Amino acid sequence: MEYIVGVDIGTGSVKAVAVDLSGKSFETNQQHYSFQSPKPDYHEQDAEEIWLSFQKCLQETIHKIGHQPKAIGLSAAMHSLILVDDDGNALSRMITWADNRSAAIAKKLKNSNEGLAIYQATGTPIHAMSPLCKLLWLKENDQENFNNTHKFISIKEYIWFKLYAEFVVDYSIASCTGLFDLETLTWNAPALALAGIEPSRLSEPVPTDYCSHKALRNMTFLKQDIPIIIGASDGCLANLGCMAYQPGQSVMTIGTSGAVRIASKKPLPNAAAMTFSYILDKDTYICGGPINNGGITLQWWLTTHDDDNPGDQEFDAFFEQVQQTPAGSNGLLFLPYLTGERAPIWDSESCGTFFGVRLSHKNRHFSRALLEGICYAMKDVLEAVEVNTEPIKQIYISGGFVKSEVWVQMLADITGKELVIVQTDDASAIGAAFLAMKSLNLIHVYPKVAAGELEIFKPNPALRDHYLKNFAVFRKLYIDLKETMHEVYLLN
Ligand code: ADP
C-alpha cells in the first residue's frame, strides 16, 4: 500500500502518522523529549535531542510498516529560536514559545505605534512567545551570543539543515516569527531594523510545498531520493488535518495549551485582541488566538497531591467527579491563568484564581470549576475571532481533550457551538501528510470528511442562559482583579 508520513515536531514530543492516499491514518509513533527551566520564565529545549527523536520516530514508523513511504511532510511547533553557527551547530539551547523572559520588552513594544505597525504587517501578536521579542531580549542581555550567531532559526530549520545543508524556512513558520511581511512574503524591514539584524542572518523563505533538490544527509534508513515536503506550522496544519481549511471553517484545539483557528482568504487582524494571521499556503491564512492554559491546567490540578503524571485512571476519576456536579459549580468560578495568559487578554502577569468559595463547596466543585474555567477562556478567544468573521456555527476539534466526552460536551455547552471530532490521531501530522500529497500531485484536492465518520456534540439549550451569566462574571472578574494580580506578580 502506498502511503505518506506526516511528522509533527511538537513541544513535548515528535509524532509520526502514516496516512494512505485516501487520507486515512493507519500507523502512529511518538517520541517524548524534555524541557529545561533554568530560571523562572525560561523554557528551553535541546535541539539535538529533538533531532535524534525525529530520526528515531521516523525510522521506527517505517520499520513497523515494512516498506518505504512515497513522501514525507513536516509540521513543527511555532515561535522557537535557535542560535547557530555556519555549520548549523546550536550555540545555546533552543528558546521555545513558552519562554517568557522577554515579557517586559513585549509589553513596552505592544503599547507603541511601532509595535502596532509590526503586528499589522506580520500578523504575529507582540508577545514574549514571538522570535522578534526573543531577539530584542538577546540583543540587550546576551550580546556576545547575539553577535556570534550566523543564523537565527527555528526547530524545523535546524532539522532541515541536518537533512539538506541549506538554511530555508517555510512561509508558515516564517509568518509566526513577527519578522515576516504577510503581503510581500519577505522579511519585514522595520521588524529587522528593530531587532538589529540583516535578512542574511535569517533563512531564505520558501513556499510550504517546497522540496529540496540537494542530496539528503543523515537518513540512511530512507531511500535517498524520497521527496520531503517542508510543510507548515503545527497550528495551520491542525486545521488542514481536521479538514477545516476552507474560508470560515474553524478548529478548536486543547492540548497542553489551546487555540481557536479559522481559515480565511486574507489576514484577519484585530488590534484589540491581537489575534494572529499565519500562512498555510498561498491561498489560505489561518487566523485566531492561542491560550496558554489548556490541558496543562488539568495536569497541574491532578498533580497537586501526587507528583506522578496522571494516567487514564486519574483522568476517569476526575471526569466522574465533574459529572456529579451541577453546571456552574454552584457559583464557584476559576480563572485559569496559571502561566499568565495570551489571547485575548495578553497578560503575562495574570494568575490563576478560584472565586466565590463557600463552605458548601467540595473538592468536586473545584474540579468542575477548573474545567469550566478552561472552557470560558476558549469562549473568550472564540468571541475575539468572531469579531472579524461571520458567526461560526460548527467547530472541528483536536488535541488530547477529545479523549473525554464530558469535557467536549462542556465546551459545546459553554460556547453554544456544535463541535465535531473528525479524527483522534495527531491532526498536525495528518495535515503535513495531506500537504505533501497535494504538493506532489498524488491527490488533486484535499481529502474531505465523510459524513458517517463524524462524531458530533450539540450544545444543550437548557444550560445556555446559566453558562452565559457565568461567563459574564468570568470576564468581569479578570477586569476587577487585573491590578491586584499585577501586584501579586511582583510579590512572587
Ligand atoms: P500536546 O499539546 O503537548 O501535544 P496533547 O494534545 O497530547 O498535548 O494533550 C495533552 C492534554 O490532554 C493533557 O494535558 C490533558 O489535559 C489531556 N488529556 C490527556 N489524557 C486525557 C484523558 N484520558 N482524558 C481527557 N483529557 C486527557
Query: ω before 344 within 30° of 0 (cis)?
Result: yes
User: What does the alpha-carbon distance between residue 144 and residue 401 come to, in Å, rounded to a whole number?
Assistant: 43
Cell numbers that stand for 134 in this block: 526573543
Contact 408, 457 (CB under 8 A): yes
Q: Which of 233, 403, 421 to mutate to test the pocket of ligand 1 (most atoms within 8 A of CB)?
A: 403
Q: Is the pLDDT of residue 8 over 80?
A: yes
Q: Which of 298, 411, 425 to mutate to test the pocket of ligand 1 (most atoms within 8 A of CB)?
A: 298
- Mean model confidence pLDDT for the chain: 95
Span 175-196, average pLDDT:
98
- Structural domains for the chain: 3-242 (3.30.420.40), 295-421+460-491 (3.30.420.40)
Q: Measuring CA to CA, how many Å separate 111 from each of 82, 116, 228, 440? A: 27, 8, 41, 44
* pTM, 2 dp: 0.93
For residue 457, the cross-strand partners are 419
pLDDT at 117: 97
Q: How confident is the model at residue 307 (pLDDT cuts 50, 70, 90)?
A: low
Contacts of 318 (CB under 8 A, 6+ apart): 298, 301, 302, 310, 367
Using most ligand atoms within 8 A of CB, pick from 96, 253, 313, 315 the residue to mutate for ligand 1: 315
8-state DSSP, 117: H
Q: Supply the pLDDT for residue 492.
A: 75
401 C-alpha to ligand 1 centroid (Å): 5
For strand 71-76 and strand 228-233, is the pairing parallel, antiparallel, or unpaired? parallel
The DSSP secondary-structure symbol of 475 reads H
Q: What distance in angstroms lies between residue 260's CA and the mean position of ligand 1's atoms?
A: 17
Q: Which atom of ligand 1 is nearest to the CA of 256?
A: 2
Residues lining ligand 1, judged by CB closer than 6 Å? Answer: 10-12, 255-256, 295-296, 298-299, 312, 315, 399-401, 403-404, 407
pLDDT band per the 50, 70, 90 thresholds, residue 176: very high
Residue 449 has a pLDDT of 77
The confidence score (pLDDT) of residue 11 equals: 87
pLDDT-based confidence at residue 391 (cuts at 50, 70, 90): confident
Q: Choose among 25, 161, 17: nearest CA to 75.
A: 17
Q: What is the pLDDT of residues 327-384, one digit of tens each?
A: 999 999 999 999 899 999 999 899 999 999 999 999 999 999 999 999 999 999 999 9
Atom in ligand 1 nearest the alpha carbon of residue 10: 4
257 CA → ligand 1 middle, Å: 9
pLDDT of residue 422: 85
Rounded percentage of the chain residues whose pLDDT exceeds 70: 99
The size of the chain, in residues, is 492
The residue type at 54: F
Indicate which residue's Cα is closest to atom 14 of ligand 1.
295
Q: How far is residue 214's CA from residue 194's CA, in Å, rounded to a whole number?
A: 34
Q: Which residue has the cell 483557528?
A: 261
Q: Is residue 182's pLDDT more than 90?
A: yes
Q: Average pLDDT of 289-294?
A: 95
pLDDT at 52: 98
Name the phi and psi angles at 263, rounded to 5.
-80, 145
| 149 CA distance to ligand 1 middle (Å) | 36
Atom of ligand 1 nearest to the CA of 11: 3
337 residue type, one letter: Y
According to DSSP, the residues that pair with 396 across neighbouring strands are 251, 420
**How, if at all, do strands 394-398 and 418-421 pair?**
parallel
Cα distances (Å, whole numbers) of residue 463 to 54, 192, 323, 469: 45, 50, 14, 10
> Mean pLDDT lowest for which of 367-371, 478-482, 488-492?
488-492
The yes-or-no verdict on residue 460 having pLDDT over 70 is yes
Among 33, 79, 237, 256, say which to mutate for ligand 1: greatest number of ligand atoms within 8 Å of CB. Answer: 256
Rounded-to-integer distance, Cα 424 and Cα 444, Å? 25
Average pLDDT over residues 307-331: 92
Average pLDDT over residues 76-86: 97
